Amino acid sequence: MNPLLTIEGLRVEFGPADAPLVAVDGAALSIGPGEIVGLIGESGSGKSLTCRSVMRLVPRPGRVAAGHIEFDGRDVLAMTPQQLRDFRAHEAGMIYQDPFSSLNPVFRVRDQLSETLRANLGMGKAQARTHAVALLDGVGIPDPERRALSYPHELSGGMRQRVMIALATASQPRLLLADEPTTALDVTTQAQILSLLTRLREERGMSVLLVSHDFGVIAQVCDRVAVMYGGHVVETGPIGALYDNAQHPYTHALLDSVPRLESAGRATRRPGIAGVPPELNEVLPGCVFKPRCRYAQPSCESVSMALQPVAPGHETACPVRPLAAADGRPAARAGAQT
């Protein structure tokens, strides 16, 4: 099956062209129709910029300097302004990290939904208001008629995130980019939001790119996962394959830091990752993870960071040391909740 979205060699830069700060460097991933793919990594690894690149919303003075983004056979980076507007209105939607700052504080929820429906679907005012209430009901907001008249500050964090999901999916897009949709939510609300995304995927056949820094979140809902570090995708594959046989030391370290159910109630600390992620102005030869890697070798300075296959559908940028799963690691989804 041909992928719905393909990203190849994506490079996002900031600053002057002759001395750029590189935030995303050669990133590659794909999403099939109806598939949920997780994108995971520490803060500053380039996850959000990858999503924004798909929508052509990289904030200035940033820019997509190289690479290829293809949606259903169409080159996103070559779209005209009108084609791009149609793409954002009908084909792809995005949920941003902070729903409070993404919603206009001086407009009621109904009016913000209605404006989107009128602009993207050409609905009349009365029809848009009626449909706005139906959208709120569809994302599980109780008493949607009353909540539609609320301002964003009158809603809980979970309700604001549901409003954002309603806005992003109002036009029935085929692709949803969910950038940290569960950040700052309590565990119960987090589970409800993930369940909502899964239900929408099943009902609409929608593809989802789910961005997170939490492997527990990724393991609950995703079919495949791409691990990102220092602007590079360093490993990608089915979620079960990465849990059972992580091949990149960074993936291995992330998994080792996930709390285990069997350690609940005991005064134990999961191992952290020594060091800090690279700054944008750091130019590191070879593998960007080498300064923090406990398996680093001199040959790591000549690694190209290109993904290499290790099993069907499973690729890694580390050719140095195959890694086995840590003892006691849970299988994908089973016991992975944090």
**In a 10 Å sphere around its CB, with 0-12 CB exposed, 13-18 middle and 19+ buried, how is residue 148 labelled?**
buried
Q: For strand 74-75 and strand 5-14, is the pairing parallel, antiparallel, or unpaired? A: unpaired
The dihedral region occupied by 290, where left means phi > 0, alpha psi between -120 and 50, and beta the remainder, is alpha
Instruction: Say which residues have a Cβ less than 8 Å from residue 331's Cβ, sequence separation at least 6.
Output: 240, 243, 244
Number of domains into which the chain is organized:
1
Between 327 and 130, the more confident residue is 130
When mean pLDDT is compared across 87-96, 213-222, 260-269, 288-297, the lowest value belongs to 260-269
Question: In this structure, is residue 186 part of a structural domain?
Answer: yes
Q: Please tell me the predicted confidence (pLDDT) of residue 117.
A: 94
Average pLDDT over residues 104-123: 94
Q: List the domain range (segments joined by +) for residue 212.
A: 5-72+174-316
Whether the per-residue pLDDT at 192 is higher than 70: the answer is: yes
Question: In this structure, is residue 287 part of a structural domain?
Answer: yes
Question: In this structure, is residue 230 part of a structural domain?
Answer: yes
Query: Which residue type sits at 245?
Result: N
Question: In this structure, is residue 327 part of a structural domain?
Answer: no
Q: Please tell me the predicted confidence (pLDDT) of residue 184.
A: 75
Which tokens belong to 190? Answer: 């987090």
> The domain spanning residue 293 has which CATH number?
3.40.50.300
Whether the per-residue pLDDT at 110 is higher than 50: the answer is: yes
Distance between CA atoms of residues 37 and 318, nearest Å:
21
Between 6 and 294, the more confident residue is 6
Q: pLDDT digits over 137-170, tens only?
A: 999 999 999 999 999 999 998 999 999 999 999 9
The dihedral region occupied by 134, where left means phi > 0, alpha psi between -120 and 50, and beta the remainder, is alpha
Q: pLDDT digits over 268-277, tens only?
A: 666 778 888 8
Q: For strand 36-40 and strand 224-229, is the pairing parallel, antiparallel, or unpaired? A: parallel
Q: pLDDT digits over 193-203, tens only?
A: 999 999 999 99
Question: In this structure, is residue 240 part of a structural domain?
Answer: yes
Q: Please tell me the predicted confidence (pLDDT) of residue 335.
A: 32
Q: What is the DSSP letter of 55?
A: T
Whether the per-residue pLDDT at 171 is higher than 80: the answer is: yes
How much of the chain, in percent, has pLDDT values that exceed 70? 91
Closest-CA residue to 338 (of 223, 187, 200) = 187
Q: Please tell me the predicted confidence (pLDDT) of residue 270.
A: 67
pLDDT band with cut points at 50, 70 and 90 for residue 262: low
Q: Please tell me the predicted confidence (pLDDT) of residue 47.
A: 95
Q: pLDDT digits over 8-36, tens only?
A: 999 999 999 888 999 999 999 999 999 99
How much of the chain, in percent, has pLDDT values that exceed 90? 65
| pTM for the predicted model, two decimal places | 0.89
